[in-house]
Amino acid sequence: MFDVPGVVLGIVAICALVLAGQTFLLDDADNTAFTYCFGFVPARYDGAPMPAAWCPSGTGAEAWSFLTYAFLHGDLAHLATNTVVFVIVGSAVARRFGNLRALGFFLATAAGGALMNLVVHWGERAPMIGASGAVFGFIAGAIRFVFQPGGPVARSGQHDPAAYFVPAAPLAAARRDYRALVLVLAWLVLNVLDALVAGTDDTRVSWEAHIGGFLTGLVLFSVFDPVRPRPA
């Protein structure tokens, strides 16, 4: 916990600064406009007119909101929850990837979460916010290597940097590891519960983005991974 990679600290710091700015510098109207401008709004892509204050289509929000929504949070509890999980799993993946690759992985999984949200909620005007889609992408990435022989779990407490560079498990092998399966099952239950208790607030946290981010992280891990896979 005292050796968190710089990219993880940087992402958390940006999220904290954004929330602080929204809380202390913006009034309610400006905060709403800011959230709609930088949050992910599916209705932005169906051609329907949007209020000018909400960064309507054609302003660039169609592109940047695929990424910027991940840096916005509804309140301190929302940010704290994402931060705790991200520091744990994000640090493991960032030590393996390095700062630049980890940043790219964060943005890619955030975009994957937004894409899943867009598919499920096409035309919806409620903005989606929060880094949890990308966080679930890092959970999926961690599953690929932390349970491997000689990996971080096996060498827990030994402070061995080499543990983060063991060859990753192929997807087929990861499906046969009961520890990975338990983690995935817990993740599925969490998202089902999230879907059942989801409210109808104008600003919501999307469980669909969790699924999109997780699947993106699971599939794209090999693209970002600098460690050569173990020979078959």
> Is residue 141 in some structural domain?
yes
Q: What is the CATH number of the domain that holds 15?
A: 1.20.1540.10
User: Of the ranges 107-121, 140-154, 212-226, which one carries the lowest mean pLDDT score?
Assistant: 140-154
Segment 67-100, tens digit of pLDDT: 999 999 989 988 998 999 899 999 999 999 999 9
> Is residue 94 in some structural domain?
yes
The length of the chain in residues reads 232
- Pick from 53, 72, 202, 57: which is nearest to 125 by CA? 202
Q: pTM of the predicted model, to two decimals?
A: 0.88
> Is residue 230 in some structural domain?
no
Distance CA 123, CA 1 (A): 41
Residue 205 region by backbone torsions, left for phi larger than 0, else alpha for psi between -120 and 50, else beta: beta
> Is residue 229 in some structural domain?
no
Distance CA 43, CA 32 (A): 16
> Is residue 206 in some structural domain?
yes
- Containing structural domain, residue 199: 6-224
Domains contained in the chain, number = 1
> Is residue 232 in some structural domain?
no
> Is residue 91 in some structural domain?
yes
- Confidence class of residue 162 from pLDDT cuts 50, 70 and 90? confident
> Is residue 231 in some structural domain?
no
